[in-house]
Amino acid sequence: MLGVMRASTRTWLVVVIGGCVLAGGAYALTRPGKGQSAKTGGASAAAVPRATPVVTAVTRAGDLPVSITALGSVTALNTVTVRSRVDGQLMKVHFSEGQLVRAGDLLAEIDPSPFEAQLTQAEGQLARDMAALQNARLDLERYRVLVDKEMIARQQYDTQAATVRQAEGAVKANQGQVELIKVQISYTRITAPLSGRVGLRLVDPGNMVKANDPGGLVVIAQIEPIAVVFAIPEDSLQPVLRQYRGGKAVPVEAYDREGKRKVATGTLAAIDNQIDPATGTVKLKASFPNHDGALFPNQFVNARVLLDVLPNVVLAPGEAIQRGPQGAFVYVVRPDGVAQMRRLELGPSDGGLVAVKQGLKAGEAVVVDGAEKLQDGAKVEPRERAPARTKS
């Protein structure tokens, strides 16, 4: 009985001590003190939003060119396939492949000996017929004296006069034959019909060539000046026509495939007389001096037709322009480091710059990278980028 009472007492003591420990722990956790103050301070620090890093660019005032850009192809103003005009053996070639030649330069020679022999034969025939003509004229003069004295019949005189005319015809025919052969001899020296760049040689010396051979000897492409043919949408035709019909030269610039590097500057030369109904475009041709040879036939370029220049407008980089259901907008970084959303009214764009009619002033910083993370009134950490420049 005594043992049972001692066990019960120990159990009670354990329960009482455990309850005291739990109560003390609860009090320590719930009482205000150093630990709770530190926790509250940490929560407050975590509640402060961090600034969002962004890249900004500064808007500026300047002139903006208004232009139309289209993909075009460089075309030689004139392309000639040089062919032989007589049959013969090609003896010499006086050009190098890819060489620049001038009109009248000697390109090749054909063996002239057969034509020289024909010329000698024709000249001999001409001399014989001229001698016969001279004799016929002398006889005619004698017959004229005799017929006046009625010593011969009038018919004999008339027959001699016809003989003279026949001899004159033969001489004239022989003179024409001589001139023809001389022309053929001149054709044995093949010269450049225009200035340009020769292509690859199509016939080697020693081969027989024929008049008007379809293959030809070489192709010459005129590259100074040179043309660029491109097509613009029919909706853009009227602004171009207004500039073209105004009598002033319409500037056209040729850029490389990527549209970053200007290759050459020229002027609009012609506008096609009809719109292509299949594509809804009209073809334009621009002429370029091409003294430096920067443009090459069949090269693809971006042709930019300058229509107008907007003076002293606010220019913003195109990367800063955002678009939403209510239109275009940008985030402007205020001096206090807060991003402010601005609604914009935009004008034309060119070279990565956009003309802003309303919503921005020159000298304001706009976000060009990181705008997708922002909201109106957000704190930002800006890093300025160099101002965008118009392509030259």
Note the pLDDT tens digit of each residue in 217-255.
Answer: 999 999 999 999 999 999 889 889 988 888 788 999 999
The Cα–Cα gap between 136 and 164 comes to 5
Q: Average of pLDDT values for 345-361?
A: 83
Threshold 0.75, pTM exceeds: no
pLDDT in tens, 321-348: 888 888 889 889 888 888 888 888 888 8
Calculated CA dihedral for residues 199, 200, 204, 210, nearest 10 degrees: -50
Taking each helix axis as running N to C, give the angle between helix 154-187 and helix 113-148, from 0 to 180 degrees, rounded to the nearest 10.
160
pLDDT at 75 over 60: yes
Q: Quick one: pLDDT band at residue 13, thresholds 50, 70, 90?
A: low
Ordered alpha helix ranges (H), 93-153: 113-148
Domain boundaries of the chain, sorted by first residue: 53-64+311-384, 68-77+221-310, 82-108+192-218, 112-187
Task: Quickly state the pLDDT bin for 157 (edges 50, 70, 90).
Answer: confident
- String of DSSP letters for 218-277: EEEE--SSEEEEEEEEGGGHHHHHHHHHTTS--EEEEE-TTS-SEEEEEEEEEE-SS-BT
**Residue 317, preceding bond cis, omega within 30 degrees?**
no
Q: Which helix (H) or strand (E) holds 180?
A: helix 154-187
Q: Is the pLDDT of residue 10 over 80?
A: no
Predicted local distance difference test score (pLDDT) of residue 24: 55
C-alpha 339/C-alpha 381 separation (Å) is 10
Mean pLDDT value across residues 364-378: 84
Which of the four pLDDT bands, split at 50, 70 and 90, describes residue 31? Answer: low
Which run of H or of E encompasses 159?
A: helix 154-187
Yes or no: is domain 53-64+311-384 CATH 1.10.3860.10? no
Give me the phi and psi of 155, to 5 degrees please. Answer: -60, -40
Q: Which CATH superfamily is domain 68-77+221-310 in?
A: Efflux pump adaptor protein, beta barrel domain (2.40.30.170)
Q: In terms of CATH architecture, what is 112-187?
A: Orthogonal Bundle (1.10)
Read off the pLDDT band of 210 (50, 70, 90).
Answer: very high
Pick the CATH number of 82-108+192-218 from 3.40.50.1000, 2.40.40.20, 3.40.630.40, 2.40.50.100: 2.40.50.100
Lowest mean pLDDT among 158-162, 191-195, 306-310: 306-310
Q: Are 364 and 60 a contacting pair, CB within 8 Å?
A: no
Contacts of 47 (CB under 8 A, 6+ apart): none
